[in-house]
Structure 1
Amino acid sequence: MAEMRNEALAAWMKAHEMSAAGLAQAVNDAIRGLTGRPGATSERTVFRWLSGENQWPQERQRLALQIVSGRAATDLGFVPRAKKHATPTSSEDSVHRRRFVRAATGATAAVAAPLLTAGARPSRVGTSDVLRLREEVETLVELDAQHGGHAALERDALAGASNAIRLQKLATTHRVRQRLFALAADFTATAAWSMIDAGKLGDAGRCLDRALTLAGMAQDPDMTMQVWNLRAMLARQRGDYAEAVAAAQAAQSTTIARRSPVHASLAHARTAIGLAHFGDHRSALRSLGRAEDALSAADLVDPLPTWMAFYGPAELYSITAIVRDVVGQPEESEAASYRALAALPEVYRRNRANATIHLALAQLHQGDVEQAVATSGEVFSIMAGTRIPGRMRRALGDFQRDLFTLAPSARVAQEWADRYRIEWSTP
């Protein structure tokens, strides 16, 4: 019977940028934590798992894989052996599982403790520690998606960066050290994004300076692009559109943007926003076209880095709405806003609220004041029960400014201000 490649394991390794040698080391580190002795898993062993030649690793290796990945062996594509009609839930196997799970709980706590306690001094830091730190970054990104930028998230992200920098001094290999620097950059950029979202622009700039240094030390083009992307966003929030364009063009020049169509699309889209605000409308529309072309050439099934999870067709429609409105094409902006809202999942409340603001602006700039006011009111329903982030408050402020500029005597304009002023202006 032909062997079947383990696609689930291959996909997990790709998503976590894990080589066969790196996974073997992580498994051996986990086995050491369980037994006190390093495992004997080799790069060749991992290749046999990937090819399907070995479809059910040894019990200690299975448990180590679970510690490293956070997933059961079957979720990683492994298939239990059908031996003497035994099942994975047989009595004997359950006894072994309970014994090893008890050991794993203690081992995991012992390994994870240095990642959480600044005073701890682990003797060695390997790939499994890198993976656990990455999970912490992903948790913070999820918190940001749910609650927006806030002080607790910033504090935890900066603490994570400090922890990664401390642990790199104990790295077992140069590769692990570089990945820890990349994680420090990721934590720091996460803190910077939280500050941008909350409107703390000065603090965000200092964070991004530090994140760019760490990304350079990591020699990580993906982290470098993340920082330039945020730098472009920060510059636009400050109204420094020349810097916004320069930062976005720096993002275009990164290795990852030249290699990945999705990254390239984001860099071109960010350039388009900067150019539109800078007043170079023709170049802005050209950049927007390049962003669309790059995204259409991308394989959107491939996993993206955590920080890039927000970007796809819906986000590009949202950016298109901004660019089209700024260059004086509000009808096209309105259409793009509707496309963004249709493509956005309901759970992305902030994204939906931001797209709704730009829809309202596009309607207002077409002279449809009453419809624009009604649309803008939906923002407060979408964000009900959640603090409105500083970045969104500024966008609502832009809407009010344009509302009173275009319809200074309209009754609906004054009613909008009376009804929503407290809600949108409260920090």
Structure 2
Amino acid sequence: MADNLALRRFMDDLGLTHAELADRVNLEIGCLTGKPGTVSERTVYNWLTGKTSWPPVKHREALRAVFGCTGPDLGFVQPGRGNRAHPEDDVKRRSFMTAATGTALAVGSPAIAAPRRIGHSDVERLNTRFADVIASDHRHGGKLSIETRAEALADEALDLQQHGAASQRVRAALFGCSASFMSSAMWAAIDGRRFDTALRHHERAASLAAMSGDAAIQFRIWSHAGSLFRHLRKPNDALAANNVARNLPIACRDPLFASLGHARHAAIHGLTGDVNAVRRSVSRAQDALDRAGTGDIRPVWLAAHYDQAELDSLALAAYLALGRYEDAESHAHRSLGLLRPHMQRSRAITNARLARAQLGQGDLEPAVTTAMAIPAGLAAHPRVAGMLDRFGSALLDVAPNSPHAQLWDQYTHDNRRTPA
């Protein structure tokens, strides 16, 4: 009997406790069968410790709905069969799903099932899981597991749209759900520096968003595209993509969307060396943010991500790219003072940029101290690791024989980072 490390990792990605996972599974069982599940914390404990190596089919289907993964992907092993599929188990699964969706197959007749009726409750269930993906991204970011799960959930939303009976409004909402998940898969790939994959995700996400008619998710996808091209150091493409987002009607109606569009434009202009364009965009972003009402209902991805701290973080990126290190440091300190406690990855990114801004002003000791203070686990994040590598190279260029360079060299030797 061995611990189920795969399931534990998936739970950690979503930040789920034993009790919270039990509640999610029971909710999914209720959606599938019409009756609440009876999974307890003890049940989850048995899964994690390996005492239960192959849960009943309804538990596996509910776990699949929560995580977007099959039983073997979640670390479960069918006794005596390893991870190999088995015909008898497939029959049990089909029998359960047939009963759960209320379909009946006549003996001796073709297996033609009436389509399941899809409604707003299914859309709400998907939206809840989208919120989970957003929360996981804020805690970890860039992980392949987040990207894979988001892509699987996008497929699930499409499957409902293609095989269920639904109104046109619900179908559009399902396209929007699928586009939302693909936008998160795209961002996870960007954050993990898997840029070719991110470009493929963008194509699919943009197509799904267009079919949904959801302007908010279209904004997110094209705004992400602007960030993707910025990371690829293609400022003209980045400006063009971000302009698609900024010119959407929702950016004209809602100043919070407008503010994010201007702030990301500032970061892109930093690559072009246009100081006036950066200042103008930062100013417009601030004016729009000051006008944005706090009581308005916004998409979870926007409300959970964009605020004054993020505006200052994007301004920091812009001024750092321009080589205006004093302005960059000012925005860094302001962002760090406003960041929400759970946004540890964002804090690590901001500190890595702050260290570079301090180094750019010749403040070697504070710069090295700031860089070394980033927790080891966060320093292994692909974006942060890249920033710290560039910081080390800049330090060697500025003061190759200084004690600060020697200290940094020893620190990196003792704390070799591995990709997150």
Fold conserved between structures, TM > 0.5: yes
Alignment of 1:49-198 (within 5 A): 104-105=35-36, 122=101, 123-169=116-162, 170-198=164-192
Q: Structure 1 residue 126: deviation in Å?
A: 0.5
Residue 355 of structure 2 corresponds to: 360
Partners of 1:239 and 1:349 in 2: CA distance: 25
Residue 396 of structure 2 corresponds to: 404
State whether residues 396 and 424 of structure 1, in contact with CA within 8 Å, keep that contact through their aligned partners in structure 2.
Answer: no
Alignment of 1:363-382 (within 5 A): 363-379=358-374, 381=375
Q: Structure 1 residue 415: deviation in Å?
A: 2.1
- Are 1:252 and 2:246 counterparts? yes
Gaps of 5+ in 1: 1-66, 71-101
State whether residues 378 and 384 of structure 2, in contact with CA within 8 Å, keep that contact through their aligned partners in structure 1.
Answer: no
Residue 266 of structure 1 corresponds to: 260
Partners of 1:271 and 1:186 in 2: CA distance: 22
Partners of 1:235 and 1:361 in 2: CA distance: 22
Partners of 2:379 and 2:389 in 1: CA distance: 16
Residue 203 of structure 2 corresponds to: 209
State whether residues 393 and 424 of structure 1, in contact with CA within 8 Å, keep that contact through their aligned partners in structure 2.
Answer: no
Residue 236 of structure 1 corresponds to: 230
Q: Deviations over 1:193-249 (max 9, x none)?
A: 111111111101100111000000101111111111111111111111211111112
Q: Structure 2 vs 1, CA of residues 103 and 206 (structure 1 numbering), >3 Å: closer, same or farther? A: closer
Q: What secondary structure, in the 3-state scheme, does the structure 2 residue paired with 1:161 have?
A: helix
Residue 349 of structure 1 corresponds to: 344
State whether residues 168 and 180 of structure 1, in contact with CA within 8 Å, keep that contact through their aligned partners in structure 2.
Answer: yes
Q: What secondary structure, in the 3-state scheme, does the structure 1 residue paired with 2:373 have?
A: helix
Amino acid at match of 2:255: P
Partners of 2:170 and 2:34 in 1: CA distance: 25
Q: Structure 2 vs 1, CA of residues 387 and 356 (structure 1 numbering), >3 Å: closer, same or farther? A: closer
Q: Structure 2 vs 1, CA of residues 423 and 202 (structure 1 numbering), >3 Å: closer, same or farther? A: farther
State whether residues 263 and 282 of structure 2, in contact with CA within 8 Å, keep that contact through their aligned partners in structure 1.
Answer: yes
Alignment of 1:404-423 (within 5 A): 404-420=396-412, 423=415
Residue 27 of structure 1 corresponds to: none
Q: Deviations over 1:246-294 (max 9, x none)?
A: 1112211112111111111111111111111122221121111111111
Q: Deviations over 1:16-68 (max 9, x none)?
A: xxxxxxxxxxxxxxxxxxxxxxxxxxxxxxxxxxxxxxxxxxxxxxxxxxx9x
State whether residues 315 and 328 of structure 2, in contact with CA within 8 Å, keep that contact through their aligned partners in structure 1.
Answer: yes
Q: Structure 2 vs 1, CA of residues 274 and 158 (structure 1 numbering), >3 Å: closer, same or farther? A: same
Partners of 1:360 and 1:196 in 2: CA distance: 23
Partners of 2:397 and 2:373 in 1: CA distance: 21
Q: Structure 1 residue 147: deviation in Å?
A: 2.0
Partners of 2:149 and 2:348 in 1: CA distance: 26
Q: Structure 1 residue 366: deviation in Å?
A: 0.8
What is the number of residues matched between the two proteins? 325
State whether residues 196 and 391 of structure 1, in contact with CA within 8 Å, keep that contact through their aligned partners in structure 2.
Answer: no
Amino acid at match of 2:117: R
Tell me how large the CA RMSD over aligned residues is. Answer: 2.7
Residue 15 of structure 2 corresponds to: none
Gaps of 5+ in 2: 1-23, 28-32, 39-57, 71-93, 102-115
